[in-house]
Amino acid sequence: MRKFFINGRFLTQSITGVQRYAHELTRAFDSLLDERADFAAEIVCPPLEGAPPSYRNIPVRIVGSRGGHFWEQTTLPAIVGDGTVFCPGNTAPLRSLFGKARVIVCVHDLSYLYFPDAYSTAYRAAYNVLTPLIFRRADAVITVSNSERAAIVGRYPHVDARISAIQNGGLNAFVPLDRDRAQDMPDPGYILYVGSLSKRKNFPMTFRVACELAAKRGLRTVFVGGTAASLEATDQRVPDAVADRIIFAGQVNDTARLVDYYKGAALFLFPSLYEASPLPPIEAMGCGVPVVASSIASLEERCGDAALYCDPHDSEDIMAKVELVLDQPDVAAGLIARGLRRAEDYSWRNCALRTLERIGI
């Protein structure tokens, strides 16, 4: 039986896309172990604030007394030894990279290079050391889209033979696709955005469009992600006249609650400036919600013909696409039908199976 360790540092981190990937993929590994006996996995993680998550087949081993990069660089490699370790969150222990261990790392993107102002000096310094060494020393590297793979290989051509693109899954396996909603075509009445309230996600433009639609048509927009403090950091202010129609729900980590937000939406708006393999558009499609997304390579790769694309730099174009979906039921119905088919293409099970191949199982 082949065994691998999972770098469980993600269990101590707040949940963004990278951590969601790690959680969902680990659950998929656990489900595969219900039907397969040819491999074993163990999560190794730093001390947690609460109880560790419970898996049917994957034990969670808590080791060490500290966390963060220090734990990853000192405690984790001592446990891994010369075994196999899968690191789902962009970083890996240097001792394992330079030792006899087999190291597989998922590098989701290079956003710290593209948007340096969004990251602290310490963060950029750590990644400027770790990422090139991962591309040089890891036995296998995974990234989450062909467009991101091309960008990485363009900067680090020596990793070409060892890097694979494996798209993220979509909805949690325990959340069924919402075909009834697609048939009933309800009119719930708000626009939904899910993601960080950051410039690289195009939050300032999305916020501006939301305010204009609220003033023009009385439409509500719900922002899920970050907190109201994130709004303050962008120097954006909600005009008093539309304050009741711009709603900040904050960070939502509970899948069931997040699905409720999707299912209550008339439209999902995602005019991001940069993505690698975003989860929210596919989750929205799986919940029977039409999607308007930015016309960037990674989103077109992930969403295919199931989204209506907009110019993320043009507020008038974003508004026009939103209004087209809201005012033309046949357009919305077509997007919903294609979206449900697209959501079927993405599963965490398939992601896990392909990842196991890269791990060597």
Strands (E) across 97-162 are located at 102-106, 140-143
CA-closest candidate to residue 30, choices 39, 21, 18: 39
CB 321 within 8 A of CB 163: no
Just give the CATH number of 2-169+347-359: 3.40.50.2000
> What was the pLDDT predicted at 50?
87
> What was the pLDDT predicted at 235?
57
> What was the pLDDT predicted at 226?
78
Q: Where are the domains of the chain?
A: 2-169+347-359, 179-344
Kindly state the percentage of the chain with pLDDT values over 70.
93
pLDDT in tens, 164-207: 999 999 887 555 555 554 444 334 579 999 998 988 899 999 99
CA 173 to mean position of chain CA atoms? 16
- pLDDT category at 241 given cuts 50, 70, 90 is confident
> What was the pLDDT predicted at 199?
87
**Which residue did the predictor score with more confidence, 147 or 119?**
147
2-169+347-359 against 179-344: fold identical: yes
How many whole angstroms separate alpha carbon 46 and alpha carbon 361?
26
Q: What's the rounded mean pLDDT across residues 316-327?
A: 97
- pLDDT category at 308 given cuts 50, 70, 90 is very high
> What was the pLDDT predicted at 89?
96
How many whole angstroms separate alpha carbon 167 and alpha carbon 147?
11
CATH fold of the domain at 179-344 = Rossmann fold (3.40.50)
Torsion angle of the four alpha carbons 282, 286, 290, 295, in this order, in degrees rounded to the nearest 10: 10
Q: What's the rounded mean pLDDT across residues 44-73?
A: 94
> What was the pLDDT predicted at 63?
96
- pLDDT category at 238 given cuts 50, 70, 90 is confident
> What was the pLDDT predicted at 186?
39
How many whole angstroms separate alpha carbon 16 and alpha carbon 290?
23
pLDDT of residue 215 exceeding 70, the answer is: yes
- pLDDT category at 1 given cuts 50, 70, 90 is confident
